[in-house]
A and B are shown apart, each in its own frame.
Chain A
Amino acid sequence: NAGVTQTPKFQVLKTGQSMTLQCAQDMNHEYMSWYRQDPGMGLRLIHYSVGAGITDQGEVPNGYNVSRSTTEDFPLRLLSAAPSQTSVYFCASSYGVREEETQYFGPGTRLLVL
């Protein structure tokens, strides 16, 4: 199993550009989520999905869109990048949504918005 994979590893954008961060998992997990990590702060939930076709907002959803057309993939779209979106983005998945379910994280995408 590859686990949770994320592409790209690193990206530089100019303000106003759009891009999609890719996330895929091969563990047949129903629950997937996106977090961002900023210096001096903990991981913060952006969006999550409890299954194909179902998405919802997390703690910091503004400026991001998600979709879940398949169980395996959960892309995160930045519609118009802003410097405040410079961060490290982690995708995670788990078998279920319960807090006891172990979340498996991808290696992260480091995004720099100029």
Chain B
Amino acid sequence: DQQVKQNSPSLSVQEGRISILNCDYTNSMFDYFLWYKKYPAEGPTFLISISSIKDKNEDGRFTVFLNKSAKHLSLHIVPSQPGDSAVYFCAASASWNNNDMRFGAGTRLTVKP
């Protein structure tokens, strides 16, 4: 039972435009959410996180939005750059520790020059 779902396996956008990656979850107990970025032949790297007490968190070109009532979070990248081309995973945790984290299957983002 996948508690964290990324329904779009892939997304293609033009350089300079906005990329919006979506993630839905089913467990209402999740209270901490993260996005990881993964390049080929490398491990995932942490990108940005958000606690359930917030609905938005920004870090440079990356903004994560959380809609708890819809059990939905999204990652906005503005403006998109070719170097952003990677697989993006969302993850969620229902407890205070890393042992309980659940990951989505990932969305492959391609940013075209």
Binding site for B on A (CB under 8 A): 4, 31, 33, 35, 40-45, 48, 56, 58, 90, 92, 94, 97-108
Q: Return the contact of A90 from the options B43, B97, B99, B104 (Cβ within 8 A).
A: B43
Interface residues contributed by chain B, number (CB under 8 Å): 26
Q: Beta-carbon contacts of B92-113 to A below 8 Å, as 1s and 0s? A: 0101111111111110000000
Which of B44-52, B57-65, B66-74 is the interface stretch? B44-52
CB-CB < 8 A to A98: which residues of B? 96-98
A42 with B103: CB separation less than 8 A: yes
B91 contacts the other chain (CB 8 A): yes
Which chain B residue shows the least CB distance to A57? B99
A42-B4, A42-B103 given as contacts; is B46 within 8 A of A102 (CB)? yes
